[in-house]
Structure 1
Amino acid sequence: MSDAATLRARAEGLAEALPPLLAEAEHLAQAVLLGEHGRRRAGTGDEFWQYRPAHAGDEARMIDWRRSARSDAHFVREKEWQAAQSVLLWVDDAASMQFSGEANHPSKADRARVLAMALAVLLTRGGERVGLSGRLPARRGPLQLLRLAEALGADGQGADYGAPETRGMPAHSRAVFLSDFLGPFEPLEKALTKAADRGVKGALIQILDPAEEAFPYDGRTIFESMGGTLSHETLKAGELRERYLGRLARRKAHLSELARSTGWHFTTHHTGEGAQAALLWLFRALERRR
């Protein structure tokens, strides 16, 4: 079985184990269609909402050639209901996400991919459009799940830490960012500010290995980044524990405050825990409106 097929099978298995969550997802999708959150009901989807610049991956049939003829750029005629039901995912594929402190724990990247796919399965079954920010436009249907699994199963980038991607996010859509968020803070801050300016609301889920929370190191230890660009050797690792835990606590506080100020939601998930609680939290975070 291919990596993409295996990822999808695991994600569907996780989704199948949550029948109450499936019911909640269907209820949420119906509520969005009926305009429960203040949006107009678009009926068959013919109600025009706005033009937006065409993005890589948009099909030619989506382009409004009459509007595009008045400009040097191509524009897509976007329906209101398309934006209302679009959920864009960003799954960090940087080197830091490959870390696993114990053999019986999945890597952070593996857990992020499974959670993203499980979320996509449930959203698709509820009638939502799901895509990958900057990589795969939001669409609905079983074929889109195959596209998502293939994209998420591809090799990651070589950088130590990832930066969120906000290209192609329709205004007033929803988004989910899955990462360890241990890299430079500024790219994340810019991405969330840009998304919030477009009315995009969503959730940040910080995925950490239990070792990154407990810092169980003592004595002589060599710390290396997963990409191999950073290295630090110490003879007294235990003396670094308090400073490390303080910095991690401050990072979480900054993430929580950034989410609050932009209308998003934030939580931390550990790879040593089951994935179902994190999936349930994601659905509730997408359902809540501020």
Structure 2
Amino acid sequence: MGDEFWQYRPAQAGDSGRSIDWRRSARSDGHFVREKEWQAAQSVHLWVDRAASMTFSSDKSVPAKSDRASLLAMALSLLLMKGGERVALASLGTPPRIGALQVTRIAEGLTREPAEADFGMPDTSQFLPRARAVFLSDFLGPVEPVEAAVTMAAERGIKGTLYQILDPAEEAFPYQGRTVFTSMSGAIQHETQRAGDLRDRYLDRLAERKNRLDMLARQTGWRFATHHTDKAAQSALMWLFQAVEGPR
């Protein structure tokens, strides 16, 4: 592996003008990009939501969503690198790499303090064209930024996975009687005397959100799934690995 010449390929949307090999392109009617060996290898970008909402846990026996997301991201990175793939953590702003130093970088990035904002917003502008992407989030915030990021990535040939991580209480809504709901940042608060009356409306909106994410994935060639933090992390990891290593 290195920076040796590997192949020419037709230029695609998202390729910069600097990447086009004009000498090779002059011999044909189209534009061609000179790909090097490291660029041809699989590159995987991981976006792990570090917003305040991800720190929620309904019970001491259940890990916080952020802890489960970080665990899955770290384990997936190790599996991919073991298979020769290059991995990058989106929050670091660095390109996909392989090796012990990159493992350390990713581990340090995953242990940073959570953001103050309640919900995170992915940014795919630095992702490599035709790479793979994995988004780990509860996706409970505004969905429009997620739709914009995935659409922009898909237009550049990036295939990916939306992996929703929820606490079991967020799926079942087991609250009754007087309840004060407070966002993890403390910015939003709602008090009700009859929390049970909100259950059906909440579940309808959650189902609507899942359907919207699933439709987004279908329209862009991505995949969508939901994982609950009271379930085993091993099965979630294997699903993610198979999703990333699937047909290219």
Task: Say whether residues 1:233 and 2:233 are aligned partners.
Answer: no
Residues 133, 161 of structure 2: 8 Å contact kept: yes
Matched, 1:181 2:135: no
Q: Is residue 28 of structure 2 the alignment partner of residue 88 of structure 1?
A: no
SS at match of 2:109: helix
C-alpha contact 1:133 1:167 (8 A) present in aligned 2: no
Structure 1 residues 81, 237: CA separation in 2 closer, same or farther (over 3 Å shift)?
A: same
Q: Which residue of 2 aligns with 1:154?
A: 112
For 2:72 and 2:145, locate their aligned partners in 1 and report how far apart those are by CA, in whole Å.
23
Task: Tell me, in whole angstroms, the C-alpha distance in 1 between the residues paired with 2:246 and 2:44.
Answer: 14
Which of the residues 107, 110, 113 maps onto 2:70?
A: 113
Conserved? CA contact 2:57–2:167, under 8 Å: yes
In 2: Cα distance, 1:154 partner to 1:258 partner: 30
CA contact (8 A) 2:53 2:119 kept: yes
Q: How many residues align?
A: 229
| CA offsets 1:105-162 (integer angstroms, 9 cap, x no match) | 1100000000000000000111100001252321001111001001111112111000
CA shift for structure 1 position 43:
9.2
Aligned residue identity for 1:98: T
CA distance in structure 2 between the aligned counterparts of 1:230 and 1:78, rounded to whole angstroms: 49
5+ residue gaps, structure 1: 1-41, 54-62, 68-76
Question: Contact between 1:95 and 1:159, CA under 8 Å: does it hold in 2?
Answer: yes
Task: Assess if the C-alpha contact under 8 Å between 1:100 and 1:108 holds in 2.
Answer: yes
Amino acid at match of 1:125: K
Residue 48 of structure 1 deviates from its aligned partner by 6.0
Counterpart of 2:6 in structure 1: which amino acid? E
Using the alignment, how far apart are the partners of 1:251 and 1:83 within structure 2?
36
2:229 aligned with 1:271: yes
Q: Give the corresponding residue for 1:218.
A: 176
Q: Which residue of 2 aligns with 1:47?
A: 6
| Counterpart Cα distance in 1 of 2:166 and 2:207 | 13
8 Å contact from structure 1 (residues 259, 265) kept in 2: yes
Partners of 2:3 and 2:37 within 8 A in 1: no
| Equivalent AA in structure 2 for residue 97 of structure 1 | M
What secondary structure, in the 3-state scheme, does the structure 2 residue paired with 1:277 have?
helix
Please tell me the root mean square deviation across aligned C-alpha atoms, in Å: 2.3
Aligned to 1:103: 60
Contact map agreement 2:65 2:165 (CA 8 A) in 1: yes
After superposing the two structures, state which structure 1 stretch, 119-128 or 280-289, moved more: 280-289
Q: Percent identity?
A: 58
Note if contact 1:84-1:172 (Cα within 8 Å) is conserved in structure 2.
Answer: no
- Alignment of structure 1 residues 17-56 onto 2, 5 Å: 45-47=4-6
In the alignment, structure 1 residue 289 sits paired with structure 2 residue 211 = no
**CA–CA separation in structure 1 for the residues paired with 2:15 and 2:90:** 15
Q: C-alpha deviations, 1:76-121, integer Å up to 9, x for none?
A: x862642541100000000000000000111000000000000000
TM-score (norm 1): 0.74
Gaps of 5+ in 2: 23-33
Which of 159, 179, 182 in structure 2 is aligned with 1:201? 159
Residues 80/44 of structure 1: CA separation in 2 closer, same or farther (3 Å cut): closer
Instruction: Kindly indicate whether the alpha-carbon contact (under 8 Å) linking 1:90 and 1:164 is maintained by their aligned counterparts in 2.
Output: yes
Closer/same/farther in 2, CA of residues 261 and 52 from structure 1, 3 Å limit: closer
Q: TM-score, normalised by structure 2?
A: 0.86
**Distance in 2 separating the partners of 1:79 and 1:245:** 49
Cα-to-partner distance string for 1:58-81 (whole Å, 9 max, x where unaligned)? xxxxx99xx9xxxxxxxxx86264
Aligned to 1:4: none
